[in-house]
Amino acid sequence: MCETLDNAIKYGLDFINKGNTASYIPELRKVDPHQLGISILQSDGSSLSSGDYDRKFTIQSISKTVALMLALMDRGQEYVFDKVGMEPTGDAFNSIIKLEIRQPSIPLNPMINAGAIAIDSLIEGNDINHKFNRLICFFRKICHNDSLWYNEKVYLSEKATGFRNRALANFIKDSGVLEGEVEEVLDLYFKQCSIEIDCRDIAMLGAVLAMDGISPITGKTLISKNICRIVKTLMVTCGMYDASGEFSIKVGIPAKSGVGGGIMAAVPGKMGIGVFGPALDKKGNSIGGIKVLEYLSCEMDLNIF
Ligand code: GLU
């Protein structure tokens, strides 16, 4: 299987020249676009990696899955999905258009920025530090990695330039969706997006989802089966931005990408996969990462459909 991973990386590398790093976040623009790595973590706890799998990168939108799980644990399914919908948008992840033209004016799902910001406002805690600490502790437990923390430079870069996220947050505050103070919730969102991880960490997150909430390392139940099912379903319908349909047809694995270049995938009952390739396509997905997953899905027969 090691050879399959090496070949998947070789295959993906041929495509990365066609992509670019996320230029709208100044710190991400500086990242070397030529990197490509993968880790898989199987249900028996064994792991395999290839390429630039140990490079650190920021989690960005993949964090939306973790925040959603915590909000569901804190507030319950009914309360959460009263504030945020369950439907794909067909629009870019940072689009405001549907908020304005649809009634009720709630974000269509928790995987777009407006939805993720709304979800962050539902996480319990006395203040923003407490909320972030709860989130990072939960994430550390899932990844079995106590050293996870956020990248200060990326966080400050997002905070300084996140005008569109500010617009989204203000819009949903006005429509009564966002709870608490706009700037505080945004602070939590920017910190959460700046958490630094490598392929092994997100392979572990994918594996816990794949195993319906059970850690393949400790055998402990960390998340309920129902919450895992909700998150995996949203990953299928909305996880790869407005390319989720095409990804489902070509790869067929629940996955969530981030503009840092990561893709976290969960193959039900089998394994978690973490891919990193910071060169992105026009929709914001890792261009090499998608090709790596296409290759693996075909070679290892991972398509769930
Ligand atoms: N921090 C990024 C933003 O808010 C996350 C976007 C993403 O990874 O999709 O724009």
Report the CATH number that the domain containing residue 254 is assigned in CATH. 3.40.710.10
Say yes or no: 226 and 182 in one domain: no
Q: In angstroms, rounded to a whole number, what is the distance separating the alpha carbons of residues 193 and 60?
A: 4
Q: Is residue 146 part of a domain?
A: yes
Residue type, 57: F
Locus of tokens 């928790």: 110
Say yes or no: 214 and 266 in one domain: yes
What domain count does the chain have?
A: 2
Of 158, 193, 228, the position where a domain reaches its end is: 193
- In the chain, which ranges are E strands? 37-42, 47-51, 57-58, 196-197, 255-257, 262-267, 271-276
Q: Is residue 252 part of a domain?
A: yes
Indicate the top mutation candidate among 24, 25, 61, 190 to test ligand 1's pocket, ranked by most ligand atoms within 8 A of CB: 61
Question: Would you say the CB of residue 158 lies under 6 angstroms from ligand 1?
Answer: yes
Position 198 scores a pLDDT of 98
Q: Is residue 227 part of a domain?
A: yes
Report the length, in residues, of the chain. Answer: 305
Over residues 107-166, the pLDDT tens digits come to: 999 999 999 999 999 999 999 999 999 999 999 999 999 999 999 999 999 999 999 999
Position 104 scores a pLDDT of 82
The mean predicted confidence, pLDDT, of the chain is: 96
Q: Is residue 87 part of a domain?
A: yes
Q: Is residue 142 part of a domain?
A: yes
Say yes or no: 216 and 146 in one domain: no
**Joined tokens for residue 90:** 């067909």
Of 172, 193, 214, the position where a domain reaches its end is: 193
Say yes or no: 162 and 74 in one domain: yes
Say yes or no: 223 and 252 in one domain: yes
Q: Which of the residue ranges 23-27, 154-158, 186-190, 234-238 would you say has the lowest mean pLDDT?
A: 23-27
CA of 113 to the centre of ligand 1 (A): 7
Q: Is the pLDDT of residue 21 over 90?
A: yes
Given 49, 50, 61, 121, which residue is catalytic?
61
Q: Is residue 6 part of a domain?
A: yes
Say yes or no: 74 and 123 in one domain: yes
- Which residues have C-beta within 8 Å of that of residue 188, sequence separation ≥ 6? 120, 123, 128, 131, 132, 135
Say yes or no: 188 and 280 in one domain: no
Q: Is the pTM of this model over 0.95?
A: yes
Say yes or no: 189 and 202 in one domain: no
Say yes or no: 25 and 132 in one domain: no
Of 193, 213, 230, the position where a domain reaches its end is: 193
Say yes or no: 140 and 19 in one domain: no
What percent of the chain lies above the pLDDT cut of 70? Answer: 100
Say yes or no: 138 and 76 in one domain: yes
Q: Is residue 76 part of a domain?
A: yes
Position 240 scores a pLDDT of 96
CA of 47 to the centre of ligand 1 (A): 28
Q: Is residue 305 part of a domain?
A: no
Over residues 42-55, the pLDDT tens digits come to: 999 999 999 999 99
Give residue 281's pLDDT band: very low, low, confident or very high (50, 70, 90): very high
Give residue 101's pLDDT band: very low, low, confident or very high (50, 70, 90): confident
Average pLDDT of span 213-220:
96
Q: Which of the residue ranges 54-58, 138-142, 238-242 would you say has the lowest mean pLDDT?
A: 238-242
Say yes or no: 203 and 169 in one domain: no
Domain that residue 252 falls in: 2-58+197-300
> CA dist 75 to 23, 141, 248, Å?
35, 20, 30
Q: For this structure, is 56 an active site residue?
A: no
